[in-house]
Every structure is written in structure tokens, then in C-alpha cells.
Amino acid sequence: MAGESVSVPRLEGVSAENFRQHLYPQRKPLVLKGLDLGPCTSKWTVDYLSHVGGTREVKIHVAAVAQMDFISKNFVYRTLPFNKLVQRAAEEKHEEFFLSEDEKYYLRSLGEDPRKDVADIRKQFPLLEGDIKFPKFFKEEQFFSSVFRISSPGLQLWTHYDVMDNFLIQVTGKKRVALFSPRDAQYLYLSGSKSEVLNIDSPDLAKYPLFCKARRHECSLEAGDVLFIPALWFHNVISEEFGVGVNIFWKHLPSECYDKTDTYGNKDLIAASRAAQILDRALKALAELPEEYRDFYARRMVLHIQDKAYSTNFE
């Protein structure tokens, strides 16, 4: 298990003004309770969603194991009618299945053309739009996407970060969420935006010895809870029972900072991608040096980056 663990603060009845002026600038996760989300928390039953969602085809992840790994891709993509997905995801055992009778399902809704369009529950599932109210805690022009998510009981999603702020609205069911600060990235064994450590509760410390230094921020979400996940905060989500959630992503930086081809909200900022490309070129240049010199100049570069780019404004 990660070393130190702290609970994510839970606040009741937070106003938009209080959030924007006092809580949001702290850039830390928060569970917001008692917000007016509309009738979705009581209305979105399996029967209701199956009826209203109808037979439109949706692309889903199907896994034979509970811990889904985006790095090794231990799942397959399949297509199901929406009503069939809801019914199967709510089951523990399946009479109809792709891989095994206890396979897990995960839906992350997509835009009409995922290469060009962002997900928006109001467009992809218009009959559900009237059931849910989005928290008005950011300006409408900052809105990026609203992602409909459905998970089987026991499903665990890989630890990753997003480049935009978001609200995870737990509409039905229960989730357990572990978050890690961006400052703990060095302990998470990253491959791109994702951590290689799948089992965060019982990690292989022989393989990942630094993981125990990561400070875990934990919370449990029930129907009606809203988790604020600041951009760059790593999060790992376990569905403790069948559940439906909606993520609301918004752009808290000027639009020109973001990659215009990003329809998921997880491509690194344009300047960050450019810096990474420059670093790759620098590493290729260092590789031309003898080992003794390569090591020396690499350490100098690291010290220079720490001196010029690291911030002292975060814990």
C-alpha cells in the first residue's frame, strides 16, 4: 500500500461563489455533497436507463479481470446496444458474454465522431439531459465535455491524470477513489499519463519500491456526491457496485494552451508536448557522449530544470 493516506475533505452545500473564490484556488480534491443534480440520482435505475437509452450501439471495454490496464491492454473493445450494456453491467454473472461469465464492462461515452467530436451526454443521450443538472461552478464557455460512464461491480480503472479540471458526479452506485498529487509523479512509475502500478492496495514493492512514498488521498462516493479532481491529479477508481457517473471537464486555462485535436481531455498541453520533444532531442544528443560525460551533463541538465522550472508553491 502507499505510505501515508489522508481523507479527501467532504463539504456540504458549497455555493458556486465559495467554490470559485476560496476552494478552487487551493487546487486540491474535494467531495461536494448536497448539490442540486436533478432527479437523476433516483431516476436512473437499470430499467429506466435501458428503456430511455434504447438500442443505440455503444463501444465498450470488456475485461476478464477486475483491474483494467490501459498499458498492457488487458481488455477488448466490443459493441453492444445501450440497453444490453446496462443490463449486463448490472449483473455479477452473465448468460451472454464475450470472454467469460464474470467479465466486467466499462462504458466511456464518445462523441459522434470520436476523432473530431467530444463527448456530451446532452447530445449523445438527449432523453437523459432533463434528468441531470451540471454544477454551475465554472463559466459556460469553459465547458469541454460531459462523459457518461457505466461500470460493472468491482471494476478498477488504471491510475492516470487528465489535463483539465473535472467533476466526477456519482449518479448511482458507490465508488472508491484514490488520488495522488502531481508532485508524487516520481513515485508512480509512469508510462505516458498512466501508472504501471495496477494493484495500489497491495503493490509489488520489489518491482515498484518507490510507490510506498506516494501519499494517497482517498474518498468514497455515493449517489449524489461530486468529486472535484484538479487537472494533473492522478486518480484510480474502483466501482464497489454497479454505478453510473458523469464527468464534467472544463478548460481552466486559455483555449490556445490545449491541443485542438484532443477530444478526450488527456493530451498534454501544447507547450508541454513541445518541451518533451525538445527533451527527446537533447537525450539523443547526450547519447553521442561517452558514458562518463553523458552522466555528468545529464545531471547538470536535471539540476538546471529543477532550478528553472520546479515550483515551491505546492506541497
Residue-range domain boundaries for the chain: 6-257, 270-309
Confidence of residue 141 (pLDDT cuts 50, 70, 90): very high
pLDDT at 70: 87
What digits encode the pLDDT tens for the residues 61-71?
999 999 998 88
Cβ atoms of 265 and 166 within 8 Å: the answer is yes
For the chain, how many residues are written?
315
Cβ atoms of 193 and 234 within 8 Å: the answer is no
What digits encode the pLDDT tens for the residues 216-259?
999 999 999 999 999 999 999 999 999 999 999 999 999 999 99
* Model-wide pTM > 0.85: yes
Q: At what angle do helices 82-89 and 46-53 cross, to 10 degrees?
A: 160
pLDDT at 315: 61
pLDDT at 180: 97
Which are the contacts of 246, defined by CB distance < 8 A and separation ≥ 6? Answer: 121, 132, 146, 147, 148, 149, 168, 169, 171
**Rounded Cα–Cα distance for residues 215 and 221 (Å):** 20
Cβ atoms of 168 and 229 within 8 Å: the answer is yes
- Three-state secondary structure call for residue 292: helix
Please report, rounded to a whole number, the percentage of residues in the chain having pLDDT higher than 90.
Answer: 90
What digits encode the pLDDT tens for the residues 31-82?
999 999 999 999 999 999 999 988 999 999 999 999 998 888 899 999 999 9
Cβ atoms of 88 and 105 within 8 Å: the answer is yes
What digits encode the pLDDT tens for the residues 194-222?
999 999 999 999 999 999 999 999 999 99
Strand ranges of the sheet holding 143-151, from the earlier edge strand across to the other edge? 10-12, 30-33, 226-229, 165-172, 243-250, 143-151, 104-108, 57-63, 76-81
Cβ atoms of 69 and 46 within 8 Å: the answer is no
What digits encode the pLDDT tens for the residues 303-312?
999 999 998 8
**Rounded Cα–Cα distance for residues 86 and 175 (Å):** 17
Cβ atoms of 201 and 276 within 8 Å: the answer is no
The CATH topology of domain 6-257 is Jelly Rolls (2.60.120)
Cβ atoms of 106 and 60 within 8 Å: the answer is yes
**Rounded Cα–Cα distance for residues 11 and 29 (Å):** 11
What angle is formed at CA 233 by the lines to CA 305 and CA 5, rounded to 5 degrees? 105
Average pLDDT, stretch 125-139?
93
